[in-house]
Amino acid sequence: MKNNKNIEISALKIFSTVAASQTLTRAAERLGITQSAVSQTIKQLEIQTDTQLVVTRTRPIKLTPSGQVLNAYAQQVIGDTQRMIADVTLGSKGGLIRLNVGMVDSFCDVAGSQFMQRLKPFTSKIALRTGLVSPLTKALLNRDLDILITGDSVNEHPHLERHPLLRDPFVILVPENFSQQGSVDLQWLASNLPFIQYNRQSRLGALTDLIARRMRITLQSDYELDSTQTLLRFVQSGHGWSIVTGLCIVRYPKLLNNIRVMQLDNGNHARYLILLCRPDELGKLPVLSADICRSLYRDEIVPQLLTIAPWLGKQAFTMTKMPAI
């Protein structure tokens, strides 16, 4: 690097990543470059500003007061640059941009195609990616996705823009021959029947474990699956019981034959879907996308849920603010 006072935007991006990481090694991994390159960039910035910016002897690393000032400016410059690129792209395509959207499988399977159809007139091209929450979140942070519809609000990244979408209630699935005239004793189920669980590496599997801890029940997880269809067939065949969400069961109504859908703890447990994006890059598209998601859930998905379990009408609804927890 040349020793001059003109700080490059790429150097500011590296510094901003260092500020958000606990070590130079972790910053290098997030950036996809070597630790040596990160160290050289920090050293060059300190030469250009004639002051120490980072204390690397501590774990986690810390910014000096000067480093905090530079980081604030870096965030502003990076944001302005991103908005500039977005505006230029909009202008070159007649106001339309290519949009890369990530969406959790359970919502995509029941609303993905309708979502794309409604949003397409506002984009030059729209690409949709589905899968597990963790890879999708990483793709958003790496700028491979522009919008992510997910069940994880990713609070460890407060800079992201958030649009709450809907409440997806958890329910109990019990084989017909084990249900007790429309009611069920959860402790008895947990003690006497195998529990059919989503893979613990998935968001739904982790939330199920959290619910069990909150309700102080021990699950006999003899089966751990990553497919809703397979899970429903296991319950349908009488192999055990399960806890899933409304979005999961609305996809496969025929697989609910010989299964009783019951309330879980009076509807007190739910997954909340939220739309995430980087701020100030997409204009009105995030708000428009969120409105489309809410409309599809309210007008098309919830009515299907009511045919399965009418009492879900009070538990499944759209939202614009996250509940206090």
Token representation of residue 221: 């997880």
How high is the pLDDT of residue 94? 56
* 107 burial type by CB count under 10 A (0-12 exposed, 13-18 middle, 19+ buried): buried
Token representation of residue 173: 């699935």
**Of the ranges 35-39, 69-73, 139-143, 290-294, the best mean pLDDT one:** 290-294
How high is the pLDDT of residue 1? 45
Orientation angle between helical segments 285-296 and 105-119, nearest 10 degrees? 120
Write down the H helix ranges in 147-202: 186-192
How high is the pLDDT of residue 294? 97
* pTM as predicted: 0.70
Per the CB < 8 A criterion, the answer to whether 175 and 235 are in contact is yes
Residue 102 in this model has a pLDDT that exceeds 90: yes
Q: Other CB atoms closer than 10 Å to residue 57's CB: what's the count?
A: 7
More confident residue, 206 or 59: 206
For the chain, the average pLDDT equals 88
All structural domains of the chain, each given as residue ranges with its CATH number in brackets, are 9-89 (1.10.10.10), 168-267 (3.40.190.10)
How high is the pLDDT of residue 3? 53
Residues 77, 83, 84, 87, Cα dihedral to 10°: -170
The closest of 232, 266, 241, 126 to 180, measured between CA atoms, is 241
Confidence of residue 113 (pLDDT cuts 50, 70, 90): very high
How high is the pLDDT of residue 78? 83
Residue 2 in this model has a pLDDT that exceeds 60: no
The residues facing 62 across adjacent strands are 55
The count of C-alpha atoms lying within 13 angstroms of the C-alpha of 281, restricted to the half-sphere facing its C-beta, is: 21
How high is the pLDDT of residue 56? 79
Q: Other CB atoms closer than 10 Å to residue 230's CB: what's the count?
A: 12
The closest of 108, 211, 199 to 150, measured between CA atoms, is 108
Confidence of residue 60 (pLDDT cuts 50, 70, 90): confident
Write down the H helix ranges in 93-217: 105-119, 133-141, 186-192, 203-215
> Counting every residue, how long is the chain?
325
Token representation of residue 244: 């899933």
Q: What is the mean pLDDT of residues 78-96?
A: 67
What digits encode the pLDDT tens for the residues 203-259?
A: 888 899 999 899 898 888 888 888 899 999 999 998 999 999 999 999 898 999 999
Q: What is the mean pLDDT of residues 170-192?
A: 79
* Cα-only R_g, the chain: 24
* 202 burial type by CB count under 10 A (0-12 exposed, 13-18 middle, 19+ buried): buried
Q: Which residues contact 310 (CB under 8 A, 6 or more apart)?
A: none
Confidence of residue 4 (pLDDT cuts 50, 70, 90): low
Place of tokens 């506002």: 122
Q: What is the mean pLDDT of residues 92-106?
A: 80
